[in-house]
Amino acid sequence: MTRTIMAALADSNYLAQFSAGERDGSTHLRTEILSGLTVALALVPEAVAFAFVAGVHPLVGLYAAFIVGLITALIGGRPGMISGATGALAVVMVSLVAEHGVEYLFAAVVLMGIIQILAGIFRLGKFMRLVPHPVMLGFVNGLAIVIFLAQLSQFQVPGTAEASGHGMSGGEWLTGWPLVVMLALVALTMAIIWAMPKLTNAFPAPLAGIAIVAGIVIAFGIDVPRVGDMASIEGGLPQFHIPMVPFTWETLQIILPYALILAAIGLLESLLTLNLVSEIVHERGGASQECVAQGLANTVTGFFGGMGGCAMIGQSMINVKSGGRTRLSGVSAALFLLSFILFAAPLIEQIPLAALVGVMFMVVIGTFAWKSLTIMRKVPLTDAVVIVLVTVVTVATDLATAVVVGVIVSALAYAWQNASRIHAKSYVTPEGAKVYQVQGPLFFGSVEGFGEIFDPANDPRRVVVDFAESRVADQSALTAIEALATKYENAGKKLELRHLSPDCHQLLKKAGQLMVDSDDDPDYAIAANYQVRTGVLHAGH
């Protein structure tokens, strides 16, 4: 394990040039470690809150934050990214825990990890390329709103929010002077975070905000909600523990649906976080490597009494904005979190929640894509609708559902736009032949418009269809060409097809005899099923 840690730290190149200026090794090390400390402090209330949401003991959430955070920091696809217990997974876990108990949760987390490892081995992370930019903007905006709403539970009387099983409802809200003090401390924390970079970069601004506000609260004995009011975080080292569930087919039937959903949500949120952080630091991340790292982390977590987890965008933003860019910051955050559990619980429990809320509010401000509010008037209407839709669905349901909805709507909009682009220019040659120059992609969405272009009944005896400015995309397009050939054949007229790819020559049976070979024929593959490739497709079918 020591060799693995040293190799990972060496790979991170944390003694190299950092940010905009040159730093020596000791300064850079201090920045990374202090960034990790800041993240660890922000992880504590999040892990405890998500444990309450899932219906498990707070230490189950803290152990997950430690183990998942450590393993992904060491071998993940994006140095500087933070992982741990998250709300997106907790809301899925709650029904499993309520119906079958926490041991089934541990088993589901192990299976979830195995599924994620397989996803990484088969390089399924590359499908993140299909997520359009408007979906990413909506995702980021929705996430910022979710983070903001999640912090509102800290403005409830300690104990009432957790009892409700949800951080946002059922609790008694602070009123009067306690609310004023809470808001003042939040504002003070935000002001410190805003002002600190203008004074010095030697100390992470979020950590300075937490330390100063905590010092004021402790020194003057101000009565405000603190971390310890949520739950005690004191505990021992996580112990190896095989989930105590029957190893039967019935057990697999219970945990497999949950494991699949958890794996999908975890990977989706992790890969989106990877893309977001990569854009900020201007370095590409490894999607497949991140899938394997998340899977290994969750598999191990399930065997050590953790609730599983995935990348945490809020904490990742805290780390990046605090100067954390390498694996050292993530490893430090995990080790600091473990030290809190083992040694420093009484001290950490004295930190006012207002300071942590202030940090997260600054994350919200930094995460929300404010420019999207202005560009929505300039981008196509479809893109603007997708941005708003993904934002709303993210807040109303969860991040994974919102991204899936956004991708589907974007794909349908793209298909609709391309379906309307199919048209043709036509002219008659001196020899009396009519030439159709097809323009636009020919695929399942445009085949109806393609068929309406031609007039077999009134066209001359010789017709030429030129596909030089078109592209045959799928089996539906092939079927449309076969149907067109059949119509002209039934009308007793000669049809020639020009500038089709070699794939079309091989896959078209009836119309293939009508093709005219040219030196400038295009070369592209067609999405067709096995039956088409074996020549089963017939004209008109």
Q: Check whether residue 316 and residue 433 sit in a common domain.
A: no
| Predicted pLDDT at 281 | 83
- Average pLDDT over the chain reads 86
Number of helices and strands in the chain (H, E)? 23, 7
User: Per-residue pLDDT for 423 more than 80?
Assistant: yes
Q: Check whether residue 357 and residue 441 sit in a common domain.
A: no
User: Per-residue pLDDT for 280 more than 90?
Assistant: no
pLDDT tier for residue 24 given thresholds of 50, 70 and 90: low
Q: Check whether residue 427 and residue 329 sit in a common domain.
A: no
| Predicted pLDDT at 522 | 79
d(C-alpha 297, C-alpha 110), whole Å: 9
**The domain boundary residue, chosen from 358, 374, 390:** 374
Q: Is residue 459 part of a domain?
A: yes
Q: Check whether residue 363 and residue 465 sit in a common domain.
A: no
**The domain boundary residue, chosen from 315, 344, 374:** 374
- Range of lowest pLDDT (131-145, 226-240, 498-512): 498-512
pLDDT tier for residue 138 given thresholds of 50, 70 and 90: very high
Q: Is residue 387 part of a domain?
A: no
How far, rounded to the nearest angstrom, does the alpha carbon of residue 402 sit from its chain's CA centroid?
A: 10
pLDDT tier for residue 306 given thresholds of 50, 70 and 90: very high
Taking residues 76-91, what's their average pLDDT? 91
| Predicted pLDDT at 186 | 96
Question: In a 3-state reduction of DSSP, which class is residue 324?
Answer: coil
User: Per-residue pLDDT for 290 more than 70?
Assistant: yes
Q: Is residue 409 part of a domain?
A: no
| Length of the chain as a residue count | 541
Q: Is residue 85 part of a domain?
A: yes
Cα angle value 67/149/184 (rounded, 5°): 100
Range of the domain at 495: 420-533
pLDDT tier for residue 436 given thresholds of 50, 70 and 90: very high
Q: Is the Cβ–Cβ distance between 478 and 537 less than 8 Å?
A: yes
pLDDT tier for residue 300 given thresholds of 50, 70 and 90: very high
Q: Is residue 287 part of a domain?
A: yes
| Predicted pLDDT at 6 | 40
User: Per-residue pLDDT for 427 more than 90?
Assistant: yes
Q: Check whether residue 33 and residue 106 sit in a common domain.
A: yes
Higher pLDDT, 162 or 42: 42
Q: Is residue 291 part of a domain?
A: yes
Percent of residues, the chain, with pLDDT higher than 90: 56
Q: Check whether residue 364 and residue 424 sit in a common domain.
A: no
Cα angle value 47/326/120 (rounded, 5°): 70
Percent of residues, the chain, with pLDDT higher than 70: 87
| Predicted pLDDT at 283 | 83
Domain count along the chain: 2
Question: In a 3-state reduction of DSSP, which class is residue 434?
Answer: strand
Written as six digits, the tokens of 427 are: 């002219």
User: Per-residue pLDDT for 168 more than 70?
Assistant: no
Q: Is residue 390 part of a domain?
A: no
pLDDT digits (tens, 9 = 90+) for 486-528: 999 999 999 899 988 777 777 776 566 677 777 767 776 776 5
User: Per-residue pLDDT for 242 more than 90?
Assistant: yes
Q: Kindly tell me the sign of the dihedral angle through the C-alpha atoms of 366, 368, 374, 378.
A: positive
Q: Is residue 380 part of a domain?
A: no
Q: Check whether residue 106 and residue 32 sit in a common domain.
A: yes
CATH of the domain at 439: 3.30.750.24
Q: What is this structure's pTM?
A: 0.75
Q: Check whether residue 369 and residue 509 sit in a common domain.
A: no
Q: Check whether residue 260 and residue 358 sit in a common domain.
A: yes
**The domain boundary residue, chosen from 317, 341, 374:** 374
Q: Check whether residue 206 and residue 304 sit in a common domain.
A: yes
pLDDT digits (tens, 9 = 90+) for 25-75: 677 899 999 999 999 999 998 898 889 888 899 999 999 999 999 999 999
| Predicted pLDDT at 172 | 84
Cα angle value 376/378/384 (rounded, 5°): 30
pLDDT digits (tens, 9 = 90+) for 107-123: 999 999 999 999 999 99
Q: Check whether residue 370 and residue 476 sit in a common domain.
A: no
Q: Check whether residue 214 and residue 341 sit in a common domain.
A: yes
Which residue in this structure is represented by tokens 């990790």? Answer: 36
Q: Is the Cβ–Cβ distance between 65 and 54 less than 8 Å?
A: no
